[in-house]
Amino acid sequence: MVLYAAKMSGWAFVPFEMLWMFLIALVISAGGFYRLVYFVSIGYAFSITGMAIAGGIFFWPSLGVYSLVHMVALGIYGTRLGTFLVARERKPSYKKELKEVQERAENVGVSKKLLIWLGVSMLYVAMFSPGLFHLTYKRMTKDVSFSLLLVVGLVIAFGGILLEALADHQKSAFKKDQPDRFCDVGLYRHMRCPNYFGEILFWIGNWCAGIPFYTHLLHWVVSLIGLVCIILIMMGSTKRLEHKQDERYGELEAYQQYVSSVPVLFPFVPLYSLKEVKVYLE
């Protein structure tokens, strides 16, 4: 049943299923108590998968073609990223980095872990919310602009999935042959972090696909919180990668030429470093 802004207000505009999505994210991301990084890696990816599957199940009787495609996009995104992260952990080349991550997490207490767990689970629900609003507030409309936004958003989302998957594949293949050199082939000729850009692109597409179904100010606020946070997180990840690569390759002339001529995150945008940019989620 569609809830219209003219008839209802306040928390009535929060789908009850959002609570279930939060519980799903809590359960799946709880692996972070075993290994802290799982809160924001494997737990993150499979939380999106879990919520997409749950969305399809909860709304199956009324699931339309576009809402099904939306859930498929979210499910593919989470599953692809999650399986990639699991496979990466098994690679010998990642063992050193994983050890460093674990050492940094040794002094994190239980109370802080609890806060991280609750915080990231709420964030994942906010990121997923455009899909949930699509499922919950489906409305028949003859407005071409709404239909166009939905289709364009889904196309952008699938484009982001393909871009991130291709970037991960290219870097993995390159590192297998040249583990001690920075990757500058394929997509990495045009931007230094195409996998992060692909992730940003996916979430922008997901948010755009939900626009026709934001029937209340609260929907806009929740969905924008999720979108802005993931963009800031990706920018923070880019900064950390910059520092790490500077430590490894900073003395190489070829690397200095590379970083001074290839945009760091956004293609065709002459922004070559985020190290001096203030990012609030790093």
- Assess if residue 64 is contained within a domain: yes
Amino acid letter, residue 114: L
Closest CA to 115 of 231, 227, 33: 33
Residue 208: band (very low, low, confident or very high) from pLDDT cuts 50, 70, 90: very high
Tokens of 11: 């928390």
Tokens of 250: 């900073």
Range of the domain at 54: 11-261
- Assess if residue 80 is contained within a domain: yes
Tokens of 257: 């030429």
Calpha distance 44→234 (Å, rounded): 13
User: How many structural domains is the chain composed of?
Assistant: 1
- Assess if residue 254 is contained within a domain: yes
Calpha distance 121→117 (Å, rounded): 6
pLDDT in tens, 80-130: 999 999 988 887 766 666 666 666 667 788 899 999 999 999 999 999 999
Calpha distance 262→273 (Å, rounded): 10
- Assess if residue 272 is contained within a domain: no
- Assess if residue 281 is contained within a domain: no
> How much is the pTM?
0.90
pLDDT in tens, 47-80: 999 999 999 999 998 888 999 999 999 999 999 9
pLDDT in tens, 144-196: 567 888 999 999 999 999 999 999 999 999 998 998 899 999 999 999 999 99
pLDDT in tens, 216-234: 899 999 999 999 999 999 9
Is the pLDDT at 8 greater than 50, yes or no?
A: no
Burial 90-119 (b: 16+ CB within 10 A, else e): eeeeeeeeeeeeeeeeeeeeeeebeebbee
- Assess if residue 184 is contained within a domain: yes
Is the pLDDT at 204 greater than 90, yes or no?
A: yes
Contacts with 252 (C-beta within 8 Å, 6 or more apart), sequence order: 182
- Assess if residue 81 is contained within a domain: yes
- Assess if residue 241 is contained within a domain: yes
Q: Is 192 exposed, middle or buried (0-12, 13-18, 19+ CB in 10 A)?
A: buried
